Amino acid sequence: MSRPLHRGSSAARISGGSQDLWDSQMKDKSEKEDLSRRDSSDQSYPPLKFASQLLHPSNSPSKFTNLENGFASDPCSAGSPRKRHHLIMLALRSSLFLIVILAVTGSLWWTISISTSSRGHINQHYKDLHARVLSDLWDIGELSLGPTKLRELEACPDEFENYVPCYNVSENVALGYSDGNEFERHCGHSVKQHCLVVPPTNYKIPLRWPTGKDIIWVANAKITAQQVLSSGSLTKRMMMLEEEQISFRSASLMFDGVEDYAQQIAKMIGLSSEYELTKAGVRTILDIGCGYGSFGAHLFSKQLLTMCIANYETSGSQVQLTLERGLPAMISSLNTTQLPYPSLSFDMLHCLRCGIDWDQKDGKYLLEADRVLKPGGYFVWTSPITNAHGNTRIKVYKKRWKFIQDFAESLCWELLSQQDETVVWKKTSKTSCYSSRNPGLGPPICSKAQDVESPSYRPLQGCIGGTRSKRWIPIEERTTWPSRANLNVTELKLYGLHPEDFSEDTDNWKAAVREYWSLLSPLIFSDHPKRPGDEDPSPPYNMVRNVLDMNAHFGGFNAALLEAGKFVWVMNVVPTGAPNYLPMILDRGLVGVRHDWCEGFPTYPRTYDMVHASGLLSLENSQNRRCSMLDLFAEIDRILRPEGWAIFRDTTSLIELARALSTRFKWDARVIGIESNTDERLLICQKPFLKKPSS
């Protein structure tokens, strides 16, 4: 039997016998079936086959190979094309295997050798990417919500145009308040309003500072021409009604009463002019019943900061017009409760026919004035009572004047001077004066329980307060302004602060102010592109003037703004749930108040150009509050002027919640990352200028 050959593709060898042919055919059939089974097995798991081939390449040639010209080549022949092809494939597989080994080794080495700082950068990039993804998902979610997304708030009824929470005299009377209590602040029964307080029909954006100090739009404040023309006090007469504007002419030759009056006060103190008041230790002045703020407007250029307080008024409000002029003011009354300021807060108290009967309530009004006055501070009072000659009520006035004189003496006040209707006293600088008084003469010193440094809703006290305070430092011994804003080591110890902490806070706010200005200045500040239609203003004209810091802490934001040369004033608010650094803020020569943000702020609608809240959302969220974030935002919207700005600085999660809520108020909102703090974000919002809906 002859040895059979492998079948070619074109022919087959015919053997000499039928058995040989059968054997050959059966063998070929068997080999084909075996090859088919192996091919089928290989195709069943190609990835496993590929990995096995990569990691364990075969060194033996395949039994069945392609033929050239239909003939089988010798598998043992080294020079055959089949052998060369196999060697090339083996080399490629080996190279690929080596590359994989090197890649795994390099990755392991990189992972081990990565530095801590590099990991921080990677984590930072991951956090940024994560925040961006969340922001994008939020945007996508808003689009997908459609009609079910957060509903925008509706406009308030017309009667809320000048709405101030907690002040409703008629409601207070109905609740049984009397004897002056009906004019006080009562928030317990106030209904929270979740609506948008729309400005008056003819409301206009206030003029830039300092032009806005002397000219305001009539429609922006609730006042009638009759109220302007019938104003009785000196500061109220310093204004003229001109069509749509009220013009305050205190700097003109025709109306120079305020300048002469300030000059008179300075000379009564023993100074040559009001420019020297800062040298005498005066920086902050509490102006009670301030008219329309002309006294403070005049002194502002002398580096003096005057806080105006007056009763709530439904029309012709002194506080509203003063704020409209870009000057510090807030609603507060001296009736039955103590003023919302710590003891020893102001360098001077001023009352120009302010309507306070200082001889009433057994001298408690004078005791409250003494409490908030710093040691060595000045009490300036102008009233017809002090100069009763020729007055038909001369006997009554003389009696009242005698009581006030004697009571002031018992408070250790020194009468410096009296000219015409104006009197100037100086509070004692030494607590020893009180113990040197004759026994039984004058009011007693407050006990420790009575002497609360920062009272809230406390009734007027019948004793001398503030004498136990570690802050009893005469104004003449304090550093003068502006150095006063930078407390020294000895002063910081009074508040339990380390110089390093105070210095770090100062530096942080300087950097923050630069960041805020770089973000906002292209839109609102005079040295950058202006609003269309505006003329080019010259420095120091500024679109932002009245600033409210809702969580002032040390007052660092305010101090940084002043050091940067920004022509703003800041109402520094210390929340009731935060550490009370308000005394320190006031000692720095700034103004502020302590406040519970679950209550309405004592101001009129549309009175602040900018509201700043750093850490406030976290503070409120960490406490069991009786109010919501919606309540807080509704109050911000009420007090913010149209086209005004709100800046929130807080944790990423709370900022995202605030961003969602801002859509309900129709604010334009933008979230911005903070380079120096990866866990915080900025939310910058602008309130739109909403018009009253057409009826």
pLDDT value at position 567?
A: 87
249 has pLDDT over 80: no
The per-residue pLDDT for range 103-142, each reduced to its tens digit, is 667 656 655 554 444 444 444 444 445 444 444 444 444 4
Answer for the pair 234, 258: CB distance below 8 angstroms, yes or no: yes
Q: In sequence order, which residues have a C-beta less than 8 Å from that of residue 120 and are 6 or more positions away?
A: none
The per-residue pLDDT for range 174-189, each reduced to its tens digit, is 878 777 777 788 887 6
- Please provide the size of the chain in residues: 695
Average pLDDT, stretch 421-433?
97
pLDDT value at position 88?
A: 74
Q: At 666, is the pLDDT very low, low, confident or very high (cuts 50, 70, 90)?
A: very high
pLDDT value at position 181?
A: 78
Neighbours of 652 (CB within 10 A): 19
Answer for the pair 561, 568: CB distance below 8 angstroms, yes or no: yes
Residue for token digits 């149209």? 642
Q: Counting Cβ atoms within 10 Å, is residue 11 exposed (0-12), middle (13-18) or buried (19+)?
A: exposed
DSSP 315: S
Q: At 256, is the pLDDT very low, low, confident or very high (cuts 50, 70, 90)?
A: low
Average pLDDT, stretch 580-596?
97
Phi, psi of 119 (to 5 degrees): -60, -40
Alpha helices, H only, 240-344: 257-269, 294-300, 318-324
The per-residue pLDDT for range 326-376, each reduced to its tens digit, is 999 999 999 999 999 999 999 999 999 999 999 999 999 999 999 999 999
Question: Which CATH architecture describes the domain 482-687?
Answer: 3-Layer(aba) Sandwich (3.40)
The per-residue pLDDT for range 484-496, each reduced to its tens digit, is 999 999 999 999 9
- What distance in Å separates the CA atoms of residue 668 and residue 666, rounded to the nearest whole number? 7
CA dist list (Å): 566 to 324, 542, 562, 569, 571:
18, 8, 6, 9, 15
Average pLDDT, rounded, for the chain: 80
Q: At 432, is the pLDDT very low, low, confident or very high (cuts 50, 70, 90)?
A: very high
Q: Counting Cβ atoms within 10 Å, is residue 555 exposed (0-12), middle (13-18) or buried (19+)?
A: buried
Angle subtended at Cα 125 by Cα 124 and Cα 128, rounded to the nearest 5 degrees: 85
- What distance in Å separates the CA atoms of residue 269 and residue 417, rounded to the nearest whole number? 7
Q: At 520, is the pLDDT very low, low, confident or very high (cuts 50, 70, 90)?
A: confident
Beta bridge partners of 245: 217, 242
Distance of CA 615 to the CA centre of its chain: 8
pLDDT value at position 440?
A: 82
Query: What Rg do the C-alpha atoms of the chain give, in angstroms?
Result: 41
pLDDT value at position 533?
A: 46
The residue ranges of every structural domain in the chain are 482-687
Phi, psi of 330 (to 5 degrees): -155, 155
What pTM did the predictor assign? 0.77
639 has pLDDT over 80: yes
Q: In sequence order, which residues have a C-beta less than 8 Å from that of residue 281 and are 6 or more positions away?
A: 347, 376, 474, 475, 476, 477, 478, 480
Answer for the pair 574, 585: CB distance below 8 angstroms, yes or no: yes
DSSP of 64-92: S---BTTBPPPTT-TTSHHHHHHHHHHHH
412 has pLDDT over 60: yes
Kind of pairing between the strands at 284-288 and 591-595: unpaired
The per-residue pLDDT for range 198-240, each reduced to its tens digit, is 999 999 999 888 889 989 998 998 887 667 666 544 444 456 6
pLDDT value at position 551?
A: 98
Answer for the pair 290, 318: CB distance below 8 angstroms, yes or no: yes
13 has pLDDT over 50: no
In the chain the first and final C-alpha atoms are separated, in Å, by: 116
314 three-state secondary structure: coil
What type of residue sits at position 560? A
Q: Which letter, b or e, does each residue of 82-94 get, where b requires 16 or more Cβ atoms within 10 Å of its Cβ?
A: bbeebeeeeeebe
165 three-state secondary structure: coil
CA proximity to 330, closest of 345, 311, 314: 311
DSSP of 20-70: HHHHHHHHHHHHHHHHHHHHHHHHH-HHHHHHHHHHS---SPPSS---BTT
pLDDT value at position 252?
A: 43
Phi, psi of 292 (to 5 degrees): -115, 25
